Amino acid sequence: MLKIISLTLLLTASATIAAAQDHKLTTADFVGTWNIEAMSHQIALVIEPVDATHVTATMMMPMGPDMLLKGELVDRTISLIGVKDPAEAAPAASSTEGHVATPAAPPANAKPITVTLLEDGTISGEMMTTRGPVKWTGEKLKTKKKG
């Protein structure tokens, strides 16, 4: 009897592990607003789906302009690159009254920002700065339930 229970538990555990490994991530697993901690700074990363493997994102830094990004999901990691804002090509207004800063685009030779979804539901990644590569971690912001 003990052998049957042990075998049943082993098979159940194996099936659970196999099911978890078979779960193929899509961009839906990354969608939302993430609070990133990098170099003692809080950065918001908002990820929106385009399709099952492509996203658009906005990185909002406290002391700088928002950065528009696009990316592709491969395995558990999205590689994000900057997107040049079409508004930057428009002629500048003669008045700064009511002017909203346009998002900055990184240089053409910028390294991608990586975002990896970890098993515990958090993300980790790396981005290049003027001081070299910076590793970071992030948690998804929780939303209040309506009701």
> Residue 144 — pLDDT band, cuts 50, 70, 90?
low
* Residue 37 to residue 122: CA distance in whole angstroms: 12
Per the domain annotation, does 13 fall within a domain? no
Give the pLDDT confidence score for residue 128 in this predicted structure: 85
Give the pLDDT confidence score for residue 13 in this predicted structure: 56
Which residues form the domain of 68?
25-86+100-140
CATH of the domain at 39: 2.40.128.120
Per the domain annotation, does 62 fall within a domain? yes
Instruction: Check residues 122 and 95 and name the one with the higher pLDDT.
Output: 122
The domain total for the chain is: 1
Per the domain annotation, does 147 fall within a domain? no
Per the domain annotation, does 145 fall within a domain? no
Cβ atoms within 10 Å of 72's Cβ, excluding its own: 15
132: left (phi over 0), alpha (psi -120 to 50) or beta: left
Residue range 16-34, pLDDT digits in tens: 554 445 568 899 999 999 9
Nearest one of 74, 71, 141 to 113, comparing CA atoms:
71
Secondary structure element (H or E) that encloses residue 74, with its range: strand 67-74
Residue 57, pLDDT above cutoff 80: yes
Give the pLDDT confidence score for residue 76 in this predicted structure: 93
